Structure 1
């Protein structure tokens, strides 16, 4: 059971599923349901007291819809929860607004996946990124965004990394183009720290497999984009393809098979584990020397 501290009080929060980390939207839905049951009210009885349709309240408790700011404020007043629902709703709306709609599915399923296979052609794969690297990446790739928005994106990426440190992490197979190592995101010191982290993950986490596809291997079928294949615990697999400012989730078996073949070809051109580690260490030394 998670707790949200508010002043001197600790409010218990129920996750959406006991095996997952709760999201603000999931916390809100679980807390709303628990508060109504504790008050001994049906949806219709609660609707009469709050002045909102019982169907609306049901959707809020099921997690299908976030409450409006007005409803969240009304719930806080009725349940005497000291702006808990208002705060959770605001955070949930902010996260939803900052996540492109094409990325929602991969974020939802990532923590439930049994296996994640990913290829990145230009940057370090997201689940391997450290905060200084992610910050530098977002500062350059999100022109016009203020520091608060960038900090939110960095925090979300950091939270996603926790899936690899969970009790039952997915098998994570990451392939990156050598361009991701050559491009000095954030400068030499940031890159050195980032590469040390990748090496540490490869050496200490048995669920993580890392390969580098070097320039010397020439053209491959995934130039210029990124591809992730997520296999869920029921055996189903979907693909997520992302490019400059768009992305799409693909579930049609024939299309997933085609993309799996492309990833297999790219993997066949990549260095083996030991060779990849050697190349990573070469770049690490270069960045460490440049940072002196």
Structure 2
């Protein structure tokens, strides 16, 4: 007899299978969350979030689970498939995701939140959770994994130059609360402080007043083959711009915003000022 699904029945996703098997293996081993924490070497709160579907396990945790539970690579494989599924993007974003891997230079501007490739996982989780009411924990975990998958472009042997211009509003808005914001700012400082020098950030302070990109999100990508294009994103939609005239016009707007931004030293000073403020409020 076949295993045909009912008409409205959906197959379990890799993330759903992973969280179910994680809890089942732990309970079959007779372990509480705290006992599993000691055996696996990870915080019990982290394991709890994996079992509830709030997040995917790290590769290290998946490997530890496979070793302790004797599951012969099951959790590593489920995690890999879940991350690959999460890396799928809406059609309007496919070109950006593919081009990020081939880019020599990525320039971005964001007026409201920290740009995606600079986001810490806790910030991304809070951002999606608070801005997407009605979405379940599994869906949020998928989106967070997708963002983490994209960030790998900055971790390779030859990362592109990533230059972010960020409005001060993105630092002032407390996504997830003071502790999350403090972690987010530390994450940015770590990326900027890496020896490769591939990540640069400038902040447009409130004192600079109005600039042409208020309220928007813009990415300019220069690929290694010489091609370039722009990507303008709005609420739940986005559009790629490829004609040289239009790309040049958007590049001019970004250049104007850059002239209103603090230099690197002053930007780092402002980031550390916000870090002290959020640490104090924790």
Superposition TM-score, scaled by structure 2 size: 0.69
**Counterpart among 242, 259, 281 of residue 272 in structure 2:** 281
Q: Distance in 1 between matches of 2:82 and 2:197?
A: 38
SS at the partner of 1:235? coil
Q: What is aligned with 1:52?
A: none
Residue by residue over 1:151-200, the C-alpha shift from the partner in whole angstroms, topping out at 9 and shown as x without a partner, is 01101111111111100000000110000000000100000010011111
Determine if contact 2:83/2:142 at 8 Å carries over to the other structure. no
Q: TM-score, normalised by structure 1?
A: 0.67
Q: 1:270 maps to what in 2?
A: 261
1:247 partnered with 2:238: yes
Between structure 1 and structure 2, the one with the greater Rg is 1
Give the length in aligned residue pairs: 206
CA distance in 1, matches of 2:264, 2:81: 44
RMSD of the TM alignment (CA)?
2.2
Write out the 4+ residue segments of structure 1 that deviate beyond 2 Å after TM superposition.
87-96
* Structure 2: distance between partners of 1:185 and 1:120: 15
Q: Distance in 2 between matches of 1:211 and 1:106?
A: 22
Deviations 1:104-151 (A, max 9, x none): 110111111010000000000111101100000000122221111110
Cα deviations by residue, 1:71-129 (Å, 9 ceiling, x for unpaired): xxxxxxxxxxxxxxxx9999866654xx2221111011111101000000000011110
2:211 is matched with which residue?
220
Residue pairs, 1:1-292, within 5 angstroms: 95-96=87-88, 99-204=89-194, 205-291=196-282
1:186-227 CA distance string (max 9 Å, x none): 100000010011111112241111100000000000011100
Distance in 2, Cα, partners of 1:202 & 1:94: 27
2:202 and 2:217 map into 1 onto residues whose CA distance is 15
Quick one: higher RCO (CA 8 Å, sep 6+), 1 or 2? Answer: 2
Task: Assess if the C-alpha contact under 8 Å between 1:224 and 1:243 holds in 2.
Answer: no
2:83 touches 2:149 (CA, 8 Å); kept in 1? no
For residues 231-252 of structure 1, give each alpha carbon's deviation from its aligned partner in whole angstroms, at most 9, with x where no partner exists.
0001111000001221101101
